[in-house]
């Protein structure tokens, strides 16, 4: 679903699906796309589809009105500026509004030029090109944008990851980052997606960057906190996992390294609504 409310930013991805035979996809495959562009093997007709669309359209108008009131203020002031911001955020941002709201939550202005020098970064050799290319072939291959090898989306993803590996030489490139970058390309053009990626990695709230630094310090901290919270709030589950010898590192590594984007897409986007607003600590709460 890439539709936009009238005043949506021009830097958001606006991608009506191409013709039924463009890019190697036949008409039958296009008929089996869900609202987010993922190929569905056995699509099921939803009886409430029309009702849900009407509800989201109404909520989109509310978010558009609310954005006009809070756009000029820091994100931390938004709940005070609009009394229903917190409750509306918890319900989930309407998908057509995420391309406007997410950059604001990440502290990125779509109107300002990119200070990072994106073109210079992706044209520079980083040494991670081979690993990036291998991972791209496995990233979001069930999505219409990334299904075809060397599609425009895959080329943009490659450039984004090379640029980031040059931008942050300490992190470089780590598996999981390809999924995060591809996810951002579903909502933003290439350069804005890169700027949001940099903002997400460098924000102080929760130290997302620490999940990908060599040695994974933030990842092991998340495992520890998650284990302590499980012991406190779910003691029976904690004892059972201990008896079976299953620590958080067994099942939660991919959760954190993909920032929960391995979950069903409608749920992953709801998690990101909260993550971009409250920081990486929300990831431990979700876990």
- Give the per-residue pLDDT at 68: 85
What's the pLDDT tens digit per position in 226-267?
999 999 999 999 999 999 999 999 999 999 999 999 999 999
26 within 8 A of 15, measured Cβ to Cβ: no
- pLDDT-based confidence at residue 79 (cuts at 50, 70, 90): confident
Give CA separation, 207 vs 4, 25, 92, 168, 268, in Å.
32, 40, 23, 14, 19
Contacts of 226 (CB under 8 A, 6+ apart): 248, 252, 284, 287
Query: In DSSP terms, which residues pair with 138 in a beta bridge?
Result: none
- Give the per-residue pLDDT at 26: 58
pLDDT averaged over every residue in the chain: 85
- Fill in the DSSP letter of residue 112: S
168 within 8 A of 209, measured Cβ to Cβ: yes
Q: How far is CA 24 from the centre of its chain?
A: 26
Q: Which of 22-26, 83-87, 121-125 has the lowest mean pLDDT?
A: 22-26
Give CA separation, 4 vs 11, 99, 205, 265, in Å.
11, 9, 30, 19
Phi, psi torsion values for 79, nearest 5 degrees: -60, -35
Residue 232 structure tokens: 């406190």
For the segment 133-158, the average pLDDT, to the nearest whole number, is: 92
- What ranges in 234-280 are assigned the alpha helix state H? 235-244, 248-251, 253-257, 265-278
Query: In DSSP terms, which residues pair with 188 in a beta bridge?
Result: 12
For the segment 198-211, the average pLDDT, to the nearest whole number, is: 85
Distance CA 202, CA 210 (A): 9
């Amino acid at each position: 679903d890439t539709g936009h409310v009238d005043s949506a930013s021009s830097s958001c991805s606006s991608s009506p699906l191409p013709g039924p035979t463009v890019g190697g996809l036949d008409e039958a495959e296009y008929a089996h796309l869900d609202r987010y562009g993922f190929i569905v093997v056995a699509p099921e007709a939803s009886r409430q589809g029309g009702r849900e669309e009407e509800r989201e359209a109404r909520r989109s108008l509310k978010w558009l009105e609310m954005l006009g009131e809070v756009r000029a203020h820091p994100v931390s002031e938004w709940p005070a500026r609009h009394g229903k911001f917190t409750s509306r955020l918890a319900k989930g941002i309407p998908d057509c509004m995420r391309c406007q709201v997410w950059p604001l939550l990440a502290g990125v202005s779509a109107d300002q030029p990119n200070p990072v020098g994106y073109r210079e970064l992706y044209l520079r050799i980083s040494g991670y090109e081979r690993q990036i290319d291998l991972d791209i072939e496995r990233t979001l291959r069930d999505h219409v944008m990334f299904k075809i090898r060397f599609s425009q989306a895959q080329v943009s993803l490659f450039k984004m990851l090379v640029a980031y590996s040059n931008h942050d030489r300490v992190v470089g490139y780590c598996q999981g980052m390809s999924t995060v970058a591809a996810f951002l390309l579903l909502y933003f053009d290439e350069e804005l997606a890169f700027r949001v990626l940099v903002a997400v990695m460098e924000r102080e709230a929760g130290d997302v960057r620490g999940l990908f630094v060599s040695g994974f310090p933030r990842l092991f901290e998340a495992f520890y906190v998650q284990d302590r919270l499980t012991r406190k709030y779910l003691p029976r589950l904690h004892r059972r996992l201990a008896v079976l010898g299953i620590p958080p590192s067994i099942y939660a590594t991919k959760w954190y390294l993909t920032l929960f984007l391995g979950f069903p897409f409608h749920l992953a986007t709801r998690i990101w609504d909260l993550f971009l607003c409250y920081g990486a600590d929300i990831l431990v709460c979700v876990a």
